[in-house]
Amino acid sequence: MTKKLFFVLALLLFASSMLCAQTPGGAAAESPFDLHPVAAGIAMAIASGLCGLGQGKAIASSVEGMGRNPGASAAIQTAMLIGLAFIESLALYTLLIVVLYIK
């Protein structure tokens, strides 16, 4: 099932370049729909979603560690906050790109 899905997605990826090549001359500027906000929204949504997954995993394992060893809570909490800050900054890099390139 996963292999079939992967195959369909790969086919769509390769076909899309042929489909879009039928309108040379840059349809992006003359499209009636301004697609810049759509791109910004999709980029930010993907970044925030994956960042949320990563942070969820980090918090889950740190809370489980605190449950197993309550005496180490301070050290685990410090490490968890550091890890969360790093993962958060990855989503913020995407926000920076969105702000820089979307007028």
Partner 1 sequence: MQESELWITRIFNDRFSSLGNAALQLVGIHPQARPWANYILMELVVFLFLALLFAFLRARLSVSAPGRLQQTCELFYGFVSGQAESQMGHASARYLSFFGTIFIFILVANMIGLVPVFESPTKYAPVTLGCAMATFIYYNLMGIWTHGFKYILQFMGPKWWLAILMFPVEIVSHLARPLSLTIRLYANMFAGEQVTLVFISLTYLAVPVVFMGLHLFVGLVQAFIFMLLTISYVAGSVSHGH
- Rule CB under 8 A: choose which of 6, 7, 93, 101 binds partner 1: 93
Nearer to partner 1 (CB atom), residue 69 or residue 89? 89
CB 44 within 8 A of CB 36: no
- From the list 6-14, 29-37, 63-71, 82-90, the region that binds partner 1 by CB under 8 A is 82-90
- Using CB under 8 A as the binding rule, whether residue 60 contacts partner 1 is answered as no
* Binding stretches for partner 1 (CB under 8 A): 81-82, 85-86, 88-89, 92-93, 95-96, 99
